[in-house]
Amino acid sequence: MAIARAERLVNLVLCLLSTRQYLTAERIRAIVPGYADAATDEAFFRMFERDKTELRDLGVPLEIGRNAGVEGPDGYRIARRDYELGDIDLEPDEAAAVALAARLWDSPQFTGAAHGALIKLRAAGVDVDQDVDVPVEPKVRTSEPAFPPLLAAVQEGRVVEFDYRRPVPVEVRRRTVEPWGVVAWRGRWYLVGHDRDRRAPRCFRLSRIVGEVVASGKAGVVQRPDDVDLLSFVARSEPPAQAVATAKLWVARGRAQGVRRRARHVGEQEYDGVPGDLLEIDLRFPDSAASWIAGFGPDVLVLEPDVLAKTVREKLVGALRGAGVRA
Amino acid sequence: MNASSADRLPRLLALVPYLLARPGIPIDEAAADFEVTPKQLRRDLELLWMCGLPGYGPGDLIDLSFEGETVTVTFDAGMSRPLRLTAAEATALLVALRALAETPGVADKAAVQRAVAKIEAAVGQARPAGVAVGLAMREAPETTLVRDAVSAGVRRGRALHLRYYTPSRDEVTDRVVDPMRVLLVEGRSYLEAWCRIADGVRLFRLDRIDAVDVLDEPAAPPPHAEPTDTSEGLFRPDPSQRTAVLVLEPDARWVAEYYPVDSLTELAEGRARVLMRYADTAWMTRLLLGLGGEVHVEQPAELVEAVARRAEAALRRADHLLAT
């Protein structure tokens, strides 16, 4: 019966770990059980190539070289110091952090890799309990279509090109970027890199990339500057917080709970024959506040400030037009 | 090769050092750690038993001793340590750990930083990979208080009384829930709990909890209360939802990034026609009133009518206010 491929590969790893000498392919064929199954030279080399590829994909550091003073083809060995995970000993609270970290990803790119890391840490003697109780369980998804090609480009150090949509002013333009990193910030993914067209570092929202991301040029071309902190770069690119403005509203009795829960009650008043309450509310984002208030329609009226009342009115007129009614 | 055999080699290489560190471990426990069945783990052990060093005689092969339902490695054939982490594995773990370290209230920051330093030292990856995750949220001070109370309920296993704002119905209701965990997803925090009124698992956004009391009675989610699978996003398409046809002006394009949109057709001048799912007409009407001037509502007719009626009524009342 043919020897299972997994068994052959384990034996190959053990064999190459145990030797200081480089072993030629022919020698490996003679020693390691399983290769004798190959009927021809060609079948053996195909088999051996495939095995080498699989080991390299797993991260097994195969060394290629020739023993001193020996003629002939190159041989193989595995240097134990490159193969073995270094000593690691985690305290229970550190292991709990690792367990939580490994559960962070909801991502085809990272979930499996985090699991693989956990297996190896356990094999190094670390007890990582997956069922540890935590106060908050963070989850991060990487579902943006642009994520996989950008991550690959960052890791390979390749330049990328893509069409990017800017909301204000409205435009879709081709961008050529030297990618430094992909960053999740407040629930959104961004690309940070050097924008070749603008000749400056820029931050791009992945959800605004239109169509395919194309990697171009050679690997290793892009070098991230050492002093770039990706996270703070994205954080700094956010618009600054605006000053808090206080507004005075009339709210129909029993209506607009969403407004009431954030406002202070300052009085009562009847308008248009409808009983209601006078409320004061602190607004942090005046523009989105106008949209939010307009949403409540006739249940909320803006008494002060005038500028907010006007913006709300414009939105309502716009909504009427958008519903096909001429105001 | 099938999918399970792709995982098998890494597991086989990790098994010997794993067992070496835990002499006499029950096979069931080892299987659970590797997330395979005990039957599969036994097959793996049988295979490893056939592997060893050149010579492949009795003294060269990996040797295992079985006692009852436990196993011990008696000869490791030189495989005493696991393979080092790949770049992808180190990245997945270290990026996640750094994210935890920078987020207050998620994990013990000092412990996370110690873990990062130890793992970096062990894997030899000093330079952070080109991936960073910030979990910090923009949070009002009230929400921080809610978070503390909710976390206490989860930790102590107590039921919670919540006063909760439901935007789809624009109502604030009181309810008792059995907390399960606190989730932080896409920049927002949620309490996952068994809701006794809804008779099901629900996610409560912390910034919509207006009041929370930790009760004396224990949290008792029923055994069939399953945690939400977050891998496909928090909100699933629901067949009972309706679909609106909207034309978004460029300024309203963010709607397509923010809400569940099934299809997007590019139109002239940066506009886009989208099909957006929604559960509640009143909620959708509020959204569309707020987007006034930036969205044209094409369908359904009842939604077009609701928006027009509410906008007209609001303008009439505002005019009345001006006149008085």
Q: What is the DSSP string of B259-307?
A: S-EEEEEE-GGG-EEEEEEES-HHHHHHHHHHTTTTEEEEE-HHHHHHH
- Taking 90 as the threshold, does the pLDDT of residue A70 lie above it? no
- Closest Cβ opposite residue A258 in set B151, B170, B318: B170
- Taking 80 as the threshold, does the pLDDT of residue B285 lie above it? yes
Q: What is the mean pLDDT of residues B250-278?
A: 84
B174 touches A at CB < 8 Å? no
Q: Where are the domains of chain A?
A: 5-83, 92-141, 150-237, 245-322
Mean pLDDT of all residues belonging to chain A = 88
Residue B163's pLDDT is: 94
Which residues of chain B lie closer than 8 angstroms to A133, CB-CB? Answer: 155
Architecture of domain A5-83: Orthogonal Bundle (1.10)
For residue A172, what are the β-bridge partners? A165
Q: What is the mean pLDDT of residues B143-155?
A: 86
Nearest chain A residue (CA) to B209: A261
Interchain proximity B85–A235, CB inside 8 Å: no
Q: What is the mean pLDDT of residues B190-196?
A: 91
Query: Where does residue B102 rank: exposed (0-12), middle (13-18), buried (19+ CB within 10 A)?
Result: middle
Interchain proximity B293–A170, CB inside 8 Å: no
Optimal mutation site among A14, A133, A165, interface B, most CBs of chain B within 10 A = A14
Interchain proximity A136–B151, CB inside 8 Å: yes
Nearest chain A residue (CA) to B320: A272
Interchain proximity A295–B286, CB inside 8 Å: yes
Residue A306's pLDDT is: 87
pLDDT tens, A259-303? 999 999 999 998 888 899 999 998 877 778 889 999 999 999 999
Pairs of CB atoms within 8 A across A/B: 410
Side chain identity at residue B165, one-letter code: Y
The CA radius of gyration of chain A, in Å to the nearest whole number, is 31
CATH of domain A150-237: 2.30.30
- From A27-31, A205-209, A234-238, B1-5, the region with the lowest mean pLDDT: B1-5
Residue B191's pLDDT is: 92
Alpha-carbon separation of residue A205 from A144, A173, B165, B316 (angstroms): 10, 14, 31, 41
- Closest Cβ opposite residue B17 in set A110, A124, A139: A124
Q: Where are the alpha helices (DSSP H) in chain B?
A: 3-20, 27-34, 38-49, 87-101, 109-123, 141-156, 254-258, 281-290, 301-323
B272-277 contact pairs (CB < 8 A, 24+): B272/B247, B272/B248, B273/B245, B273/B246, B273/B247, B273/B248, B273/B298, B274/B245, B274/B246, B274/B248, B275/B243, B275/B244, B275/B245, B276/B243, B276/B244, B276/B246, B277/B237, B277/B238, B277/B241, B277/B242, B277/B243
For residue B65, what are the β-bridge partners? B72
Q: Residue B232 — pLDDT band, cuts 50, 70, 90?
A: low
- Taking 80 as the threshold, does the pLDDT of residue B124 lie above it? no
User: Has this prediction a pTM greater than 0.90?
Assistant: no
- From A176-185, B42-51, B102-111, B149-158, the region with the lowest mean pLDDT: B102-111
- Taking 60 as the threshold, does the pLDDT of residue A327 lie above it? no
Q: Residue A132 — pLDDT band, cuts 50, 70, 90?
A: low
Q: What is the mean pLDDT of residues A180-188?
A: 89
Instruction: List domains and CATH numbers for chain B.
Output: 3-75 (1.10.10), 141-225 (2.30.30), 242-323 (3.30.70)
Optimal mutation site among A76, A120, A301, A310, interface B, most CBs of chain B within 10 A = A120
Q: Residue B1 — pLDDT band, cuts 50, 70, 90?
A: very low
B21 touches A at CB < 8 Å? yes
Residue B2's pLDDT is: 42
Tokens for B208?
Answer: 């919509």
Please check whether residue A284 is in contact with residue A242, taking contact to mean a CB–CB distance below 8 angstroms. Answer: yes
Which residues of chain B lie closer than 8 angstroms to A310, CB-CB? Answer: none
